[in-house]
Amino acid sequence: MHHDTAVPDRLDDIRRQFTRQADAYTEMPQTKDAAVLDGLVRFVGTGAGDRVLDVACGPGFLTMAFASHAKEVVGVDATQALLQRARSEAERRGIHNVRFETGDATVLPFADAAFDVVSCRAAFHHFPDPERVLGEMRRVARPGARLLVADMLGADDPAKAAYHDGIERLCDPTHARALPAAEFERLFVAASLDVLAKPIGTMDYEVEAWMTHGGPPPEAAAEIRRRFEASLATDRSGLSVRREDGRLRFSHRVVAFLLARPGA
């Protein structure tokens, strides 16, 4: 019973945060890096006849990148403010084979086996129940479909992972948890999804610029700086914190899991 009431509350929190921060999030270079987005679309092997679903699509930059390679693309997100930006950007670009719909990733409003490709980028760390979201992604994927799950990674060391999550939550309270690679792998096994590839890279940030996406109040921002500083000497956060040109910088380890739903 508690679970069912907690999820809508959680969604409301996410809507509030991303409505408040819609412009800042949309304008982050990492959100809309065209080369990265096109690389992900090619990595999935998207074909001209494919129907694609982009889950938790936010301002829709990955959704629109799929549109130039696929037959039809649907982006789904819980936050109207982000969907509005996605719709107006798609219109501005003259993209006609994409549409954006309101929906909850834990109960996707689509039929079983409706899509050839199902993607989710930079969102799993917001899901309190990632297993449920992955189950929904699998459900709407046809047998033989490809799935993309791309996100930051949590550290394998639980103490470092907890320290990292604490920093993320100070910046954006809707951060649930950055999953370690081994945990993602367990989720995929449990969901009967085959891992085809899993390249790992890094995404580099300057602390002050990074904080703009979450818009933390001054006292939280001060605590974030303090925690990053405390991670300089011993990498307590697992985020490779360093000082360059007098500025605090860090790196997220990021992964793109290419998955297949077994079957023809």
Distance of CA 95 to the CA centre of its chain: 23
pLDDT tens for the 264 residues of the chain, in order: 333 444 556 656 655 655 555 555 455 555 568 888 999 999 999 999 999 999 999 999 999 999 999 999 999 999 898 999 999 999 999 999 999 999 999 999 999 999 999 999 999 999 999 999 999 999 999 999 999 999 999 999 999 999 999 999 999 998 999 999 999 999 999 999 999 999 999 999 999 999 988 889 999 999 999 999 999 999 999 999 999 999 999 999 999 999 999 986
Task: Give the model's pLDDT for residue 165.
Answer: 97
Please give, one letter per residue, the 3-state secondary structure of the chain. Answer: CHHHHHHHHHHHHHHHHHHHCHHHHHHCHHHHCHHHHHHHHHHHCCCCCCEEEEECCCCCHHHHHHHCCCCEEEEEECCHHHHHHHHHHHHHHCCCCEEEEECECCECCCCCCCEEEEEEECCHHHCCCHHHHHHHHHHHEEEEEEEEEEEECCCCCHHHHHHHHHHHHHHCCCCCCCCCHHHHHHHHHHCCCEEEECCEEEEEEEHHHHHCCCCCCHHHHHHHHHHHHHCCCCCCCCCCCEEECCEEEEEEEEEEEEEECCCC
Within a 10 A sphere around the Cβ of 34, how many other Cβ atoms?
Answer: 10
What is the Cβ-side half-sphere exposure of residue 52, based on CA atoms within 13 angstroms? Answer: 31
pTM exceeding 0.75: yes
Inter-axis angle of helices 80-93 and 2-20, to 10 degrees?
50
Q: Which domains does the chain have, with CATH numbers?
A: 2-155+173-203+253-260 (3.40.50.150)
